[in-house]
Amino acid sequence: MSRDNPTIVALIPARSGSKRVPHKNIRPLAGHPLIAYSISAAVNSGVFSEVLVSTDSEKYADIARHYGAGVPFLRPQEYAESFSPDIEFVEHALNNLKDQGREYDAFSILRPTSPFRKAETIQRAWNEFLAQEGVDSLRAVELCHEHPCKMWVVRGERMMPLIPFGPAEQPWHSSQYPTLPEVYVQNASLEIAWSTVATAGHTIAGNVLMPFITRDDEGLDVNNEYDWMLVEKMIEVGYASLPPISQTPYPLDN
């Protein structure tokens, strides 16, 4: 393996046991199951040697294959619980690929709950990652909407600012948003890391992270019923757009 012309595999995690929105990873959005948009963007980006779905469900695996992803193995149930850390499914996938003689220099996590990530988003992130030296990983971020300088810790009948900085005469919690330090929050659009970060360091991020700043709808995440209503309306009025899909819709009623 070489970083002069590195290879990368896409890992799309899709466990079947979602609690807030049951089976959200295959819930229909604009005619296709949610996971289809991440698969389509990954395949159409041309970045990946393989696009794989990590799932514990045979039905999810069948849907993933319908849209062009590979599912060469199922994720064990112990790695598909509500509190299972991401490193478990990543190591499981990379180790199984290695056993099959398929090793890659890097991996990217593309979560189905971020369906507005485009092929161009992935291409831009991969190019930015390759342009940096000495980084372990890249993670998608965006400017926060709810600024931590406006947040409080409550203790009984008293509270204190989470971030107690700023001049005494103008503390940050009493300042206008544009005057506050720029703070970024991660979103679910994508992550990229060298495979050794996971296989040797047992983490998906490593120690040296670089930001990938998402644009417009690229970082939109769908995790609860409110999110679903919001993004459906955004699609309807043209404020957000989904990656194109060439396959016929999977018959989810079956």
Instruction: Please give the pLDDT value at position 81.
Output: 65
Identity of the residue numbered 41: A
- Contact by Cβ (8 Å): 179, 252: no
pLDDT, tens only, 40-77? 999 999 999 999 999 999 999 999 999 999 999 998 87
Give me the chain's average pLDDT, please: 92
**230 domain-assigned:** yes
Distance CA 217, CA 106 (A): 26
Phi, psi of 31 (to 5 degrees): 95, -10
**223 domain-assigned:** yes
**159 domain-assigned:** no
The number of folded domains in the chain is: 1
pLDDT, tens only, 103-140? 999 999 999 999 999 999 999 999 999 999 999 999 99
Structure tokens of 26? 């295959």
Distance CA 47, CA 183 (A): 30
Enclosing domain of residue 67:
8-144+183-237
Q: How far is CA 133 from CA 9, 16, 28, 209, 214, in A?
A: 20, 37, 40, 11, 21
Q: What is the pTM of this model?
A: 0.92
pLDDT, tens only, 188-224? 999 999 999 999 999 999 999 999 999 999 999 998 8
CATH number of residue 63's parent domain: 3.90.550.10
What letter does residue 77 receive in the DSSP assignment? Answer: G
